[in-house]
Amino acid sequence: MNKSYATAQDESEALHNRVLRFRLPDGFSTLLLLEQGELLVGEGEQDIIGPALCYWPVDQRPTLCLKAGARARILGLSDTIILDSIGARAESVHLRMLTEHPFFAPLQQPAPLEQIMALVHWFVTELTEAEIQSPMSLSAQLRLIFIGALRLHHPEKGDNGMEKTHILRQFRHLVELHYRAHWPVADYAQKLGIDYDRLHRTCKRETGRSPGELVHERLTAEAKVRLEKSGTPLKQIAADLGFPDATRFSHFFKRRTDMAPGAYRAIVSRPDGEDLIELRRGFSDWP
């Protein structure tokens, strides 16, 4: 395993205010554990007091400044480890929504602070000691970190925003349960108790994509994972994902990715391929 999966960076106690310089590969998200002190986010927009856990998705991290006396640990997260940590269970939708946007989770209570500190330490130790590195272990630890953050993070929204979020959350939950069954969008709307047009407007407004596009993105993401992480024949993958045969699965996959499933599998099986980040980009962005 190499730095294409995750990275770690320690920032020792600052003697004076200093802007953080990140050593992360392109396309990585940022998870920052502020162990003590204060962190200035952006151009004076927000002042975070530690201990706290902060996260920024790809390309959304602002300028960050550690104030004098502050100390932090920074994890660089690829789309792949984020997707692995989120998993594909119905409950995973909550972690997907958490990692779509920047979040700040205060760690003021002793119990969650101790848990998160231990998990991050465990993660960094495994990542930096080659003889014990395990992607499965790292993604499991990251999942626990995200679950801890989810329990502590309470974004403030107006009533209208909460209603839209509720519809989108319930839609995503249903997609996780039924995307392999290839439900038509009208069935999702009926199950939600709203009309098709309202579901369409909500998805377009909140994500920029239609409900059908979101379902197809979820199906494509699952297909990519199976092609990358298993040697399962295309016929079996097609059946597992609800396609009547491998030919129809191949046509669907090529329409979505401009690449046949076999060609995709060949590329992602090459170690350290330069085009892997671009191929995997958006995995954790579903939907």
Task: Please give the pLDDT value at position 271.
Answer: 63
Closest CA to 100 of 162, 66, 150, 52: 150
**Which of 16-25, 95-104, 162-171, 178-187 holds the top average pLDDT?**
178-187
Regarding pTM above 0.75, the answer is no
Among the residues of 25-109, which ranges form H helices?
Answer: 79-86, 92-100
Helices and strands, counts by H and E, the chain:
12, 9
* 134 and 173 inside one domain: no
Mean pLDDT of the chain: 86
My answer on whether 104 and 231 are in the same domain is no
For tokens 């960050």, what's the residue? 64
Residues 110 and 189 in one domain: no
Average of per-residue pLDDT across 196-201: 94
1: in domain: no
Distance CA 81, CA 257 (A): 21
Domain match, 16 and 115 both: yes
State how far the Cα of 64 lies from the Cα of 45, in Å rounded to an integer.
Answer: 11
Owning domain of residue 227: 159-285
Indicate whether 41 and 174 sit together in one domain.
no
DSSP label at residue 14: P
Q: Determine the Cα–Cα distance for residues 273 and 147; give it in Å rounded to an integer.
A: 32
Domain final residue, candidates 117, 152, 187: 152
User: 259 pLDDT exceeds 80?
Assistant: yes
C-alpha dist (Å) from residue 48 to 52, 54, 68, 216, 226: 8, 9, 13, 38, 40
Residues 203 and 262 placed together within one structural domain of the fold? yes
Both 38 and 18 in a single domain?
A: yes
The residue among 152, 174, 199 that closes a domain is: 152
CATH of residue 167's domain is 1.10.10.60
Quick one: pLDDT band at residue 272, thresholds 50, 70, 90?
low
What DSSP line would sit under 198-219, residue for residue? HHHHHHHHHHSS-HHHHHHHHH
Give the pLDDT band of residue 284 (cuts 50, 70, 90): very low
- Examine the domain organization and report whether 171 and 279 are in the same domain: yes
Last residue of a domain, one of 103, 126, 152: 152
Residue-level pLDDT at 64:
93
The pLDDT of residue 89 is above 60: yes
Does residue 134 share a domain with residue 171?
Answer: no
Q: How many domains is the chain partitioned into structurally?
A: 2
What is the reported pLDDT for 283?
42
